């Protein structure tokens, strides 16, 4: 079984404080390519797990999320000088306060629920106990823990209950230093 590193997308891999449905506006966070390449070299599968409640709020469509994800994949490949650096993208379009009724529910895939990680484990044959999650929000960390993964919260503030790192590069250093 493979170990994975689950990666949040917005403000972990790309700069995005708002709803992003336009692939032309994809901007990678500075310096994320090479460290992700090192994780692949170490044998980790990279899996992106992203809440996209903008779909539920009618800001953009699922097809737009998929277009953005394809652009993110290509930008990461370019930055890391790899091919298919990211194994797979999972996104959750549901939101409990959706304006579009078919998306209005607290779906098991919506972080802090661990559904996207559990689905990836099933699809890709992952060993969750040897896997990690990196994200910039507490709900990312909750999802990782609920799936049985080790977690690293990105940010400037140290927290008492868990590992933190200021940058993705630093987080990757923690993961590669842990084995
Ligand atoms: Mg985020």
Strand 4-7's sheet: what is its strand order?
88-92, 45-51, 4-7, 132-135, 150-154, 163-165
Any domain includes 46: yes
For the stretch 122-167, pLDDT in tens is 999 999 999 999 999 999 999 999 999 999 999 988 777 789 999 9
**More reliable by pLDDT, 40 or 18:** 40
153 belongs to a structural domain: no
Residue 1 resides in a domain: no
Determine the Cα–Cα distance for residues 53 and 109; give it in Å rounded to an integer: 11
Domain residue limits at 27:
9-126
How many angstroms separate the alpha carbon of residue 126 from the centre of ligand 1?
23
Q: How far apart are CA 32 and CA 86, in angstroms?
A: 12
pTM value?
0.96
What's the residue count for the chain? 179
Ligand 1 center to residue 57 CA distance, Å?
18
Please name the helix (run of DSSP H) or strand (run of DSSP E) that holds residue 39, with its range, or none.
Answer: helix 33-41
Which residue in the block uniquely carries the two structure tokens 């449905």? 21
Q: What contacts 160, CB < 8 A, 6 or more positions away?
A: none
- Residue 80 · residue 34 · CB < 8 Å: yes
Q: Is the residue at 51 inside a domain? A: yes
Number of separate domains in the chain: 1
Does residue 152 lie within any of the structural domains?
A: no
For residue 179, the model assigns a pLDDT of: 62
Q: How far is the CA of 83 from the centre of ligand 1 (A)?
A: 24
* 17: CATH: 3.40.50.1000
Which residues are CB-contacts of 149 (< 8 A; sequence separation ≥ 6)? 6, 117, 128, 129, 131, 132, 133
Determine, yes or no, domain membership for 87: yes
Active-site positions?
8, 10
* 135 CA distance to ligand 1 middle (Å): 6
Task: Judge contact between 133 and 5, C-beta under 8 A.
Answer: yes
């Amino acid at each position: 079984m493979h170990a994975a590193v689950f990666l949040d997308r917005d403000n972990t891999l790309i700069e995005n404080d708002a709803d992003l449905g336009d692939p032309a506006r994809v901007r990678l966070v500075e310096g994320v390519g090479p460290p992700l390449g090192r994780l692949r070299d170490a044998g980790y599968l990279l899996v992106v797990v992203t809440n996209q409640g903008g779909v539920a709020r009618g800001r953009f469509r699922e097809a737009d999320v998929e277009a953005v994800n394809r652009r993110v994949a290509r930008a990461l490949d370019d930055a890391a000088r790899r091919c298919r650096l990211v194994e797979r993208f999972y996104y959750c379009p549901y939101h409990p306060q959706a304006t579009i009724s078919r998306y209005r529910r607290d779906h098991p895939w919506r972080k802090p629920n661990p559904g996207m990680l559990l689905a990836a484990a099933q699809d890709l044959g992952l060993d969750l106990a040897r896997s990690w999650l990196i994200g910039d929000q507490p709900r990312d960390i909750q999802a990782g823990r609920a799936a049985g993964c080790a977690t690293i919260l990105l940010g400037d503030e140290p927290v008492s209950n868990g590992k933190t790192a200021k940058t993705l590069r630093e987080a990757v250093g923690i993961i590669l230093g842990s084995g």
